[in-house]
Structure 1
Amino acid sequence: MSRSPTWPRAALPVLLAAVLVLLVLPGRLAPGERPGQRTEEATAPAPVPLSRVPSGFFTGSDEEGVRRISGVEGWLGGGELRVGHTYLPGDRWSNIEGHPALFAPWAEWKAGRPGRLFVLNVPMMDRNEAGLTDAEVRAGLRRGAAGAFDAHFAALGERLVEHGLGDAVLVLGWEMNGTTYGHRCGPDPAAWKAYWRQVVGVLRGTEGQRFRFDFTPSRGRDAVPWPECYPGDDVVDIIGMDAYDQPEGVSFEEQVGEEYGLAHHVAFARAHGKPVSYPEWGLFRNGDNPAYVRGMLDWFAAHRPVYQTVTDYCPHGVWGCADNPRSAEVVRGALGAPARP
Structure 2
Amino acid sequence: MPHRRRWLAAACLSTVAAVLLATGSTLATPPRKASGHNAGPDVAVGAYLHYDSVGVDRMQELSRWLGGADLRAGHTYLPGDTWANIEGAPESLRSWARWRGARGDRLFVLNVPMLDHNEGGVPDAQVAELLRAGAQGRNDHHFRRLAERLVGLGVPDTVIVLGWEMNGFNYTHRCRPDPESWKRYWRHIVAAMRGVKGQRFRFDFAPNRGSDAIAWTTCYPGDDVVDIVGMDSYDQPPGESFADYVTQPYGLKHQVDFARAHGKRISYPEWGLFRNGDNPEFMGDMLAWIADHRPLYHSITDYCPHGVWQCAQNPRSAGVFRDFLSTEHGRARSVRPAAGNLPGVHPGRG
2:31 partner amino acid: A
- Partner-residue secondary structure (3-state), 1:280: strand
Given the alignment, which residue of 237, 240, 247 partners 2:227?
A: 237
The alpha carbon displacement at 1:340 in A equals: 7.3
Structure 1 residues 209 and 158: alpha-carbon distance in aligned structure 2, compared to 1, 3 A threshold? same
Question: Contact conserved, 2:322 with 2:329, CA < 8 A, in 1?
Answer: no
- Partner-residue secondary structure (3-state), 1:50: coil
1:11 aligns with 2:11: no
User: Which residue number corresponds to residue 311 of structure 1?
Assistant: 301
The alpha carbon displacement at 1:113 in A equals: 2.3
Give the distance between the partners of 1:221 and 1:261, measured in 2 at CA.
8
Alpha-carbon displacement from aligned partner over 1:9-61 (angstroms, at most 9, x marks no partner): 963143xxxxxxxxxxxxxxxxxxxxxxxxxxxxxxx7673242210010011
Question: Contact conserved, 1:175 with 1:217, CA < 8 A, in 2?
Answer: yes
User: Which residue number corresponds to residue 26 of structure 1?
Assistant: none
User: Which residue number corresponds to residue 202 of structure 2?
Assistant: 212
User: Which residue number corresponds to residue 49 of structure 2?
Assistant: 59
Give the distance between the partners of 1:248 and 1:127, measured in 2 at CA.
28
The alpha carbon displacement at 1:77 in A equals: 1.2
Give the distance between the partners of 2:37 and 2:223, measured in 1 at CA.
26
Q: Relative to structure 2, which stretch is displaced further, 47-56 or 134-143? A: 47-56
Alpha-carbon displacement from aligned partner over 1:235-259 (angstroms, at most 9, x marks no partner): 0000000000002871111111111
- Partner-residue secondary structure (3-state), 1:156: helix
User: Which residue number corresponds to residue 11 of structure 2?
Assistant: none
Give the distance between the partners of 1:132 and 1:212, measured in 2 at CA.
29
Give the distance between the partners of 2:219 and 2:239, measured in 1 at CA.
29
Structure 1 residues 79 and 306: alpha-carbon distance in aligned structure 2, compared to 1, 3 A threshold? same
1:194 partner amino acid: R
1:12 partner amino acid: R
Given the alignment, which residue of 259, 266, 270 partners 1:269?
A: 259
Structure 1 residues 249 and 231: alpha-carbon distance in aligned structure 2, compared to 1, 3 A threshold? closer
Give the distance between the partners of 1:12 and 1:339, measured in 2 at CA.
17
Given the alignment, which residue of 258, 268, 278 partners 1:278?
A: 268
Alpha-carbon displacement from aligned partner over 1:112-144 (angstroms, at most 9, x marks no partner): 223110000000000000000001110000000
The alpha carbon displacement at 1:102 in A equals: 2.3
1:174 aligns with 2:164: yes
User: Which residue number corresponds to residue 95 of structure 1?
Assistant: 85
User: Which residue number corresponds to residue 80 of structure 1?
Assistant: 70
Larger relative CO (CA 8 A, sep 6+): 1 or 2? 2
Structure 1 residues 108 and 274: alpha-carbon distance in aligned structure 2, compared to 1, 3 A threshold? same
Question: Contact conserved, 2:31 with 2:283, CA < 8 A, in 1?
Answer: no
1:49 aligns with 2:38: yes
Given the alignment, which residue of 128, 136, 139 partners 1:138?
A: 128
1:49 partner amino acid: N
Alpha-carbon displacement from aligned partner over 1:271-290 (angstroms, at most 9, x marks no partner): 11111000000000000001
Structure 1 residues 203 and 248: alpha-carbon distance in aligned structure 2, compared to 1, 3 A threshold? closer
* TM-score between the two structures when normalised by the length of structure 1: 0.86
Structure 1 residues 47 and 231: alpha-carbon distance in aligned structure 2, compared to 1, 3 A threshold? farther
Question: Contact conserved, 1:257 with 1:263, CA < 8 A, in 2?
Answer: yes
Given the alignment, which residue of 104, 113, 130 partners 1:123?
A: 113
Give the distance between the partners of 1:282 and 1:339, measured in 2 at CA.
21
The alpha carbon displacement at 1:293 in A equals: 0.7
1:148 aligns with 2:138: yes
Question: Contact conserved, 2:78 with 2:90, CA < 8 A, in 1?
Answer: no
1:218 partner amino acid: N
Q: Relative to structure 2, which stretch is displaced further, 265-274 or 98-107? A: 98-107
* Structure 1: segments with no counterpart, 5+ residues: 15-45
Give the distance between the partners of 1:11 and 1:57, measured in 2 at CA.
19
- Partner-residue secondary structure (3-state), 2:144: helix
The alpha carbon displacement at 1:74 in A equals: 1.2
Aligned residues: 306
1:194 aligns with 2:184: yes
* TM-score between the two structures when normalised by the length of structure 2: 0.84
The alpha carbon displacement at 1:162 in A equals: 0.4
User: Which residue number corresponds to residue 106 of structure 1?
Assistant: 96
Give the distance between the partners of 2:196 and 2:230, measured in 1 at CA.
24
Over aligned residues, Cα RMSD in angstroms?
1.7
User: Which residue number corresponds to residue 227 of structure 1?
Assistant: 217
Given the alignment, which residue of 320, 323, 335 partners 2:310?
A: 320
Runs of 4+ in 1 over 6 A off after TM superposition: none
Give the distance between the partners of 1:162 and 1:328, measured in 2 at CA.
38
